[in-house]
């Protein structure tokens, strides 16, 4: 079980508390709670292709905003107050230099693509933009756009016999609570968020399949009464949730997909412990046929490593004591990414599974300065430059896309944005990003305003 250190009510600079991020249950590393089961979508197989042939996306959200300058976009020739304390190392791809604390990725850079010219909306700690392409509306009447996972759920649904949701978020930070969710696509396409353990996927003690079926029939009777008087569609949505829940409880295949104990110990160790196990669980889920799996990775280390700062210790929001934190965090990230990428390639999944890794912003180019303040060994917020790491998907790997200026302030030339990242995901999944869906007022809404994928990757 993942353990966080420090008080649970500490706040990020944007005002969100750690309690907000972690509430409603521990971060799930293993299974599904019954409460979350009821949020599943009842999904029918409409002649879908076998799960092994379905394309899928794993989105690893580095929550808090990792420093681009200290990781994947280093500036060794800049003054010390910009370049910081770390040195770059060469990878097996010329020009693809990364931080010295990530030697494992240096060995597999030919299986990675690095986008260095990202620019984000100036709204700190806003994962909404990463998952929907739009920042979260702050005024009444502004449209809320659906997460890309909800879009995939709407368009693809479940395929084959796996009886799993189309959109699974392995923890609540990457779940619906801090993103837009399904918006006008409907509750049935909300992210399915695991709970604390696998045991809740089993039938309750003393409840046989026959008795469970009787309970289900009784529930359907009451639901029909409620449906007759509910014109909002909420009951219809909850009915589909319960249908999916029933399928999952009675079908061991769903339970097995979450069970990493079925993996060899050597492979589990390769990923690392704690939250890194989510990456292995994500691989099992996409291999079982789930189209979209999202998860967060904060590189959690003990508070003492970060001089007692819980925010820096549990996320990439390292405005306080950033360098000692990153010395401990980066090897954990390096190990997990290396394990996931090599695992996917070894299984021949690299063309059918796309991995996207990144955060909601970069960090201030000058050490000890930036939004929300910073200690002399940390960096504040910076949304004008950042990165994303991509692997697989049959895309063009072994390259660096774009660059920033010598200070790491801004991208050189026209930058890419999270909308371009999502357009790349849609392109990979065979989804037309110009597709429209009616919002709650019936107005057709495009998936993205900027529907151009990252050309260098295609």
Residue 19 scores a pLDDT above 60? no
- Report pLDDT for 247: 62
SS3 of the chain: the string is CCCCCCCCCCECCCCCEHHHHHCCCCCCCCECCHHHHCCCCCCCCCCCCCHHHCCEEEEEECCCCCCCCCCCCCCCCCCHHHHCCCCEECCCCCCCCEECCCHHHHCCHHHCEEEEEECCCCCCCCHHHHHHCCCCCCCCCCCCCCCHHHHHHHHHCCCCCCCCCCEEECCCCCCHHHCCCCHHHCHHHCCECCECCHHHHCCCCCCCHHHHHHHHHHHHHHHHHHHHHCCCCHHHHHHHHHHHHHHHHHCHHHHHHHCHHHCCHHHHHHHCCHHHHHHHHHHHHHHCCCCEEEEECCCCCCHHHHCCCHHHHHCCCCCCCHHHHHHHHHHHHHHHHHHHHHHHHHCCCCCCEEEEEECCCEECCCCCCCECCCCCCCCCEECCCEEEEEEECCCCCCEEECCECCCCCCECCCCECHHHHHHHHHHHHCCCCCCEEECCCCCEEECCCCCCCCHHHC
The Cα–Cα gap between 458 and 352 comes to 14
Average pLDDT over every residue of 58-67: 96
Please tell me the least confidently modeled range out of 37-51, 123-137, 326-340: 37-51
Residue 366 scores a pLDDT above 60? yes
- Alpha carbons within 13 angstroms on the beta-carbon side of residue 326 total 30
Q: Tell if the pTM clears 0.85, that is, is over it.
A: no
Q: Which of 204, 193, 190 is nearest to 249 (CA)?
A: 204
For 326, list phi and psi in degrees, rounded to 5: -65, -30
The Cα–Cα gap between 17 and 107 comes to 37
Does 3 map to a domain? no
Does 312 map to a domain? yes
pLDDT tier at 371, thresholds 50, 70, 90: confident
The Cα–Cα gap between 360 and 61 comes to 8
Q: Give the burial class of 224: count Cβ atoms within 10 A of its Cβ; 0-12 exposed, 13-18 middle, 19 or more buried.
A: exposed
Does 399 map to a domain? yes
The Cα–Cα gap between 436 and 17 comes to 35
Does 6 map to a domain? no
435: tokens are: 């597709």
- Report pLDDT for 300: 94
Does 342 map to a domain? yes
- Exposure b/e, 386-409, CB count within 10 A at least 16 = b: bbbbbbbbebebbbbbbebeeebb
Please say whether the dihedral angle defined by the alpha carbons of residues 118, 120, 122 and 124, taken in this order, is positive or negative.
negative
Question: Which range of residues forms the domain containing residue 432?
Answer: 18-457
pLDDT tier at 31, thresholds 50, 70, 90: very low
- Report pLDDT for 195: 65
- Report pLDDT for 165: 85
Please tell me the least confidently modeled range out of 179-193, 283-297, 308-322: 179-193
Give the model confidence (pLDDT) of 71-113 as tens digits.
999 999 999 999 999 999 999 999 999 999 999 999 999 999 9
Residue 198 scores a pLDDT above 60? no
Q: Any idea of the CA torsion for 281, 285, 287, 292, to the nearest 10 degrees?
A: -120
Average pLDDT over every residue of 183-188: 88
Residue that wins the pLDDT comparison between 228 and 193? 193
Domain count, the chain: 1
Q: Any idea of the CA torsion for 179, 180, 182, 185, to the nearest 10 degrees?
A: -160
Distances (CA, A) of 443 to 143, 184, 345, 384: 10, 11, 43, 32
Does 109 map to a domain? yes
Whole-number percent of the chain with pLDDT over 70: 71
Contact 164, 291 (CB under 8 A): no
The Cα–Cα gap between 396 and 399 comes to 8
Residue that wins the pLDDT comparison between 172 and 61? 61
Give the model confidence (pLDDT) of 383-401 as tens digits.
999 999 999 999 999 999 9
Does 255 map to a domain? yes
Does 11 map to a domain? no
Q: Can you give the CATH number for the domain in which 298 is found?
A: 3.40.720.10
């Amino acid at each position: 079980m993942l353990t966080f250190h420090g008080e649970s009510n500490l706040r990020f600079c944007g005002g969100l508390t750690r309690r907000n991020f972690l509430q409603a249950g521990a971060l799930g590393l293993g299974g599904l709670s019954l409460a979350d089961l009821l949020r599943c979508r009842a999904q029918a197989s409409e002649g879908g292709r076998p799960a092994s042939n379905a394309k899928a996306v794993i989105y690893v959200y580095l929550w808090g905003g990792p420093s681009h300058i200290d990781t994947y976009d280093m500036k060794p020739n800049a003054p010390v107050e910009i370049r910081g304390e770390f040195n770059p190392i060469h990878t097996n791809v010329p020009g693809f230099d990364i931080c010295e604390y990530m030697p494992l990725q240096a060995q597999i850079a030919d299986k990675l693509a690095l986008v260095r010219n990202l620019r984000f909306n100036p709204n700190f700690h806003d994962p909404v933009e990463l998952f929907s392409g739009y920042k979260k509306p702050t005024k009444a009447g502004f449209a809320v756009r659906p997460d890309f996972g909800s879009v995939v759920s709407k368009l693809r649904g479940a395929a084959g016999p796996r009886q799993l949701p189309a959109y699974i978020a392995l923890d609540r930070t990457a779940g619906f609570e801090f993103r837009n969710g399904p918006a006008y696509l409907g509750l049935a396409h909300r992210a399915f968020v695991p709970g604390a353990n696998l045991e809740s996927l089993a039938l309750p003690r003393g409840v046989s399949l026959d008795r469970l079926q009787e309970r289900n029939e009784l529930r359907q009777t009451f639901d029909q009464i409620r449906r007759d008087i509910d014109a909002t569609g909420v009951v219809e949505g909850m009915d589909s949730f319960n249908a999916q829940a029933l399928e999952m409880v009675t079908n061991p295949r769903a339970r097995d997909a979450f069970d990493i104990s079925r993996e060899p110990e050597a492979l589990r160790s390769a990923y690392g412990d704690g939250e890194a196990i989510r990456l292995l669980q994500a691989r099992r889920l996409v291999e079982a046929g789930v189209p979209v799996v999202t998860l967060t990775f904060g590189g959690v280390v003990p508070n003492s490593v970060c001089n007692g700062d819980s925010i820096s210790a549990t996320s990439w929001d390292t405005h306080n004591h950033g360098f000692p934190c990153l010395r401990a965090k980066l090897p954990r990230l390096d190990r997990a990414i290396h394990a996931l990428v090599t695992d996917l390639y070894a299984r021949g999944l690299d063309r059918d599974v796309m991995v996207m890794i990144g955060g909601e912003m970069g960090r201030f180019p000058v050490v000890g300065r930036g939004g929300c303040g910073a200690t002399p060994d940390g960096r504040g917020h910076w949304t004008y430059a950042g990165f994303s790491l991509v692997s697989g998907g049959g895309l063009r790997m072994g390259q660096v896309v774009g660059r920033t200026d010598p200070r790491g302030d801004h991208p050189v030339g026209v930058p890419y944005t999270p909308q371009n990242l999502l357009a790349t995901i849609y392109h990979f999944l065979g989804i037309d990003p110009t597709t429209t869906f009616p919002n709650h007022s019936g107005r057709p809404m495009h998936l993205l305003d900027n529907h151009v994928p990252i050309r260098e990757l295609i």
